[in-house]
Amino acid sequence: MAAFSSLIKKNRYQLINLHRIIKAQSSFKIVFTLCFALFFEVGLFWLFLDGFNFLHRMGGVGLIIISKLFDIFFLGMGFMLIVSSIVSSYSTIYRSDEIPFLLTRPFSISQIVLYKFFESTGLSSWAFFFIIIPFICAYGYHENMSAAFVVWNFLFSIPFLITCSGIGTVITIIIVRWIPLGRYLRIPGIGIAVIAAWFLIHELLKYRSITTESDLNLSMLLPGFTLASNPLLPSYWISEGIMLLTGGQWLNGVMFGIMITSTSMVICISIEWVGQKIFHEGWQRLTNGSSINERAPVMLWWLQNILLVFPSDIRAIVMKDIRTFFRDPVQWSQALIFFGLLALYFSNLRTFRYHTFPENWRNTIAFLNVFSVSAVICSLGARFIYPQLSLEGQGFWILGLSPARMSRILLTKFFLALSCMLLVSTSLMFLSARMLNAAPIVVVVAILLVCSISAVVCGLSTGLGAIYLDISQKNPAAIVSGFGGTLNLVLSLCFMLVAIIPFGMIFHLNLLHRMNNHQMYNSLIIAGLWLVVLTVLSIITPLYLGLKTLLRREY
Amino acid sequence: MIEICNLTRKFGSFEAVSNLSLTVLPGELFCFLGPNGAGKTTTIKILTGLLRPTSGTTRICGLDMQIDPIAVKKLIGYIPDMPFLYERLTATEFFQFTADLYEVPQNKVPLLCDESFRLFGLLDCRNVLIKELSHGMRQRLIYASTFLHNPQVLFIDEPLVGLDPYSIRLIKDLLMEKARAGMTIFLTTHILAVAEDIADRIGIISKGKLIAMGTLKELLALNNECKNLEDIFLHLTENDN
């Protein structure tokens, strides 16, 4: 126990020292980051409030949606927390340099796993609170809730956070221990996967089988409502408990509070148990096993052959980056989660019967999907493209000393990122438009917009990544969360808005019949020219500045 | 003090350590040599509990790491070649943290800290964040904190990586002094001159198998044509390259 408490004390020291690190930062960076956070929170609050007001004005269905939104919100947050915990606990528990250190100190394995679980939960919690604060404030304000509503939200959120994050951590520990499956587990594992897939398809087909309009009702339209009201889910306990306690129904409210708290405790005990039983095997498998596995002598040799048309230095950089990406499960699994969820949503647009909506609504949804894809493009740019130069690490001098010109290195990185990004973003956009049967003009504009945003995000991320190069940092999360990473994300999001809003306004005015079709096409041409100029400038400027910084730099 | 019995560690079909058996006596400074990939670090990792053996046993001070890991960890110290340090702690805070870990009485820590930092030349940077320390200073700090709980057995993987000549002399003298005082030291190095200078006994491992063991004199006697440890090492491991 003394050993464990020393870890707590160590964390306290680190927290105290944080101010020294912050003091070393420029005040411009601090003010910029704080202003961005504040702007983001206020913006989200305004967005949520505007949404509630819109639903309220709709009346009928809108009011039912508002009453169910609280359940849905926590269901969604719970799902996101589990997914983010799977990702963050993998890097915090398995990829941390601290683990070998702790393993050779007098800690039991269960103590180490539990300690790292809390660290991982702490890392995911700030984003959780960052999102729920504006939502809760907007919901409470709109529904005229008392201040107790906010307090209950805070108190219920902590065990909910531990529960969801804990589920993610347990999944990670199990995955790392047994996947890829060994020879004997492979057949049962594939069997379970097939049964799970069959069950999922069966459930989805239930919704597809409804063909007549009269079958449509709210729960069929939004299957999430039914799921969110399932009394076996912790998200239901938290939303119900908060509402009951705010409404003064103490007994039932406290019962839900006890349920969520005891569940979080059971989860902690489970992590301790699972950690003690299988963590070490998984950690060994990960840190020592992978290098021994027999691999093909050259990964993706066929791609290397295709790239023979390019000069050798470009081919070398491209192949190195692609191989590094595919050999790092953290990188490709996160990219898969980013786009996989969006692809799942788009491919189910018909399940939710959006394609049966009137044409105007379908076009609006198709256009709103540009926002979803663009937001994911911005996140991917920030997470994967921005840190790629810094992640070259101390080995950057190899590139620096090579006969390859720095401009070629930078442009190779840019075009490689752009090719990958375009492939995925245009496919997603095409899938969305196809599922919605959107009008051809909307499809063309949507695809052009994501192409432009992809190109600018790649240019900004590569250029700013060169300007704020940090070769001493090994952790991509730390690189991304630095000043340059934040600036990159802010500028990418700003460009996204500046690019999309003019087109959105044109379609909106046409929808309201304030602009006829002829005027709409003329306006679209002007907006298109504006987009081209903006795109070219936003690509060239950061790349040029990035190149100048790299050329000036000493390695 | 360190007993390794028929130790084997496999990674898939690859055998990193193969049926290794050896004993290191109390107060002995044992140097474990071998070419890259021979199995030195794997052996140290098993002895310190970072890896589990595929088969065989290891006992430290009579205790089995697999059965009673916490008790063993309290008796040992381990310095890896690229040690991990908490970058956002100061040197003193890291020292205090280590003292807490090993339950060193609080009232003794300031004195131990002073003595240790004086010995390792860390006094001037005691309140500097670790991230701001040079590699050499970090190495000194890890030595200072490892010796803090006075381990009975010390494992060191490449003890002199990145150190200046002053630090090398300091570490060599310290290790010999600690061994004389009864500490058992098991170290791996590629600097054969260090092994010649300080080792009581030397073991050479190649492809996971122990191929030679003894004092320098014994090894020289067994390999008549060799003049020094370097010759012996190159002669015995030439098939590896």
Give residue limits of the domains in chain A: 313-555
Asked if pLDDT for residue B163 goes beyond 60, the answer is: yes
Of A6, A17, A106, the CB nearest to B74: A106
Of B78, B80, B93, the CB nearest to A13: B93
User: For residue A101, how many other CB atoms are within 10 A of its CB?
Assistant: 18
Question: Token match 């306006």: residue?
Answer: A523
CA-nearest of A105, A68, A99, A101 to A173 is: A99
Residue A447: C-alpha distances to residues A17, A337, A362, A537, B237 (Å): 48, 22, 16, 20, 63
Cβ burial of A148 (10 Å; 0-12, 13-18, 19+) is middle
User: For residue A470, how many other CB atoms are within 10 A of its CB?
Assistant: 17
DSSP string, B136-186: HHHHHHHHHHHHTT--SEEEEESTTTT--HHHHHHHHHHHHHHHHTT-EEE
User: Nearest residue on chain B to A292, judged by CA atoms?
Assistant: B11
CA–CA gap between residue B35 and residue B189 (Å, rounded): 10
CATH superfamily of the domain spanning B2-240: P-loop containing nucleotide triphosphate hydrolases (3.40.50.300)
CA distance A133 to chain B (A): 30
Count how many pairs of residues, chain A against chain B, have C-beta atoms within 8 Å.
75
* Consecutive H or E run containing A380: helix A359-380
Which are the contacts of B111, defined by CB distance < 8 A and separation ≥ 6? none
- List, for residues B75-111, the tens digit of each pLDDT value: 999 998 877 788 778 888 888 888 888 888 888 889 9
CA-nearest of B134, B34, B45 to B81 is: B45
Residue A501: C-alpha distances to residues A356, A365, A454, B58 (Å): 26, 15, 16, 68
pLDDT at A290: 47
- As given in the structure block, the two tokens for residue A421 are 């990004």
Contacts of A6 in chain B (CB under 8 A): 97, 100-101
Of B49, B103, B129, the CB nearest to A104: B49
Contacts of A292 in chain B (CB under 8 A): 11-12, 14
For A:106-165, CB contacts with B below 8 A are: 106-108
* Chain B contact for A191 (CB, 8 A cutoff): no
Of A98, A280, A288, the CB nearest to B84: A98
Best residue in A1, A5, A7, A10 for a mutation probing chain B (most B CBs within 10 Å):
A10
CA distance B10 to chain A (A): 9
Inter-chain contact A14–B50, Cβ cutoff 8 Å? Answer: no
Which are the contacts of A48, defined by CB distance < 8 A and separation ≥ 6? A134, A135, A138, A139
CA–CA gap between residue A177 and residue A438 (Å, rounded): 45
Inter-chain contact A18–B88, Cβ cutoff 8 Å? Answer: yes
Tell me how many degrees the CA angle A198-A278-A11 measures, rounded to the nearest 5. 115
Contacts of A474 in chain B (CB under 8 A): none
Inter-chain contact B88–A6, Cβ cutoff 8 Å? Answer: no
DSSP string, A271-333: HHHHIIIIIHHHHHIIIIITTTS---SSTTHHHHHHGGGS-HHHHHHHHHHHHHHHH-HHHHH
Inter-chain contact A104–B76, Cβ cutoff 8 Å? Answer: yes
pLDDT at A122: 86
Inter-chain contact B11–A292, Cβ cutoff 8 Å? Answer: yes
The amino acid occupying position B129 is L
CA–CA gap between residue A340 and residue B70 (Å, rounded): 43
Inter-chain contact A5–B102, Cβ cutoff 8 Å? Answer: no
pLDDT at A397: 61
CA–CA gap between residue A523 and residue A509 (Å, rounded): 11
* Chain B contact for A284 (CB, 8 A cutoff): yes
Question: Token match 């960890």: residue?
Answer: B73
Contacts of A3 in chain B (CB under 8 A): 100-101, 103
Q: What is the DSSP letter of A90?
A: I
User: Nearest residue on chain B to A18, judged by CA atoms?
Assistant: B88
Which are the contacts of B157, defined by CB distance < 8 A and separation ≥ 6? B40, B41, B44, B78, B79, B80, B81, B187, B188
CA distance A415 to chain B (A): 35
SS3 A265: helix
Cβ–Cβ under 8 Å, residues A486 and A409: no
pLDDT at A298: 59
* Chain B contact for A47 (CB, 8 A cutoff): no
* Chain B contact for A472 (CB, 8 A cutoff): no
ipTM entry: 0.71
CA distance A21 to chain B (A): 8
Omega cis (within 30) before A180: yes
Question: Token match 């300690």: residue?
Answer: A115
Q: Which residues of chain A are modeled with pLDDT < 50?
A: 211-216, 290-294
Q: Looking at residues B50-54, what average pLDDT do you find?
A: 87
Asked if pLDDT for residue B73 goes beyond 80, the answer is: yes
Inter-chain contact A5–B100, Cβ cutoff 8 Å? Answer: yes
Cβ–Cβ under 8 Å, residues B100 and A9: yes
Of B49, B88, B93, the CB nearest to A103: B49
Best residue in B43, B68, B86, B92 for a mutation probing chain A (most A CBs within 10 Å):
B86
Inter-chain contact A106–B84, Cβ cutoff 8 Å? Answer: no
pLDDT at A291: 46
CA–CA gap between residue A73 and residue A228 (Å, rounded): 9
Tell me how many degrees the CA angle B112-B115-B117 measures, rounded to the nearest 5. 100
pLDDT at A349: 62
Which are the contacts of A105, defined by CB distance < 8 A and separation ≥ 6? A3, B73, B101
Of B12, B70, B96, the CB nearest to A106: B70
CA distance A327 to chain B (A): 19
- List, for residues A246-305, the tens digit of each pLDDT value: 888 999 999 999 999 999 999 999 999 999 999 998 888 877 654 444 455 556 777 878
Inter-chain contact B88–A3, Cβ cutoff 8 Å? Answer: no
Inter-chain contact A104–B100, Cβ cutoff 8 Å? Answer: no
Inter-chain contact B93–A10, Cβ cutoff 8 Å? Answer: yes
For A:291-310, CB contacts with B below 8 A are: 291-294
Both ends of chain A: CA-CA distance in Å? 46
User: Nearest residue on chain B to A19, judged by CA atoms?
Assistant: B88
- As given in the structure block, the two tokens for residue B27 are 């107060």
CA–CA gap between residue A85 and residue A166 (Å, rounded): 8
* Chain B contact for A208 (CB, 8 A cutoff): no
Inter-chain contact B88–A17, Cβ cutoff 8 Å? Answer: yes
Which has more confidence, B149 or A185?
B149
What's the number of CA atoms in the CB half-sphere (13 Å) around residue A207? Answer: 20
CA–CA gap between residue A487 and residue A288 (Å, rounded): 38
pLDDT at A406: 82
For A:75-104, CB contacts with B below 8 A are: 97-98, 100-101, 103-104
